[in-house]
Structures are given as structure tokens and as C-alpha cells.
Amino acid sequence: MAHLLREKGFNAFVIVGGLAAWRKAGEALEPVPKDDLVKLPTFS
């Protein structure tokens, strides 16, 4: 995805190790807002 963003002209980077590395380093986290927990089709 970062490659795609760069192709579109964005100055994109990738955080090595992702969220797990961020958490392991003890950096700040926050709960994901409910609005961001978008649902896939519910199948109900």
C-alpha cells in the first residue's frame, strides 16, 4: 500500500514492526474510536 501511495505522489513510509513494535517500545496508544470500527456485511 505504501508503494501505491508513493506512486500517487504521497510521501509514504512504513513503520517497521507495525503496531506490535510500537506497543513493545512503550509508545503512546489510544482506543480505536467506535466510528472507525466499520463493519463488513453483517449477513443477518
For 22, counting Cβ atoms within 10 Å of its Cβ (0-12 exposed, 13-18 middle, 19+ buried), the class is middle
Containing 7, the helix (H) or strand (E) segment is: helix 2-7
Q: Smallest distance from the beta carbon of 32 to another protein, in angstroms?
A: 5
Footprint of another protein on 5-24 (CB under 8 A): 5-6, 8-24
Size of the site for another protein (CB under 8 A): 37
Q: Smallest distance from the beta carbon of 7 to another protein, in angstroms?
A: 10
Distance CA 39, CA 30 (A): 20
Judged by the rule CB under 8 A, the positions of this chain that interact with another protein are 1-6, 8-25, 27-32, 36-41, 43
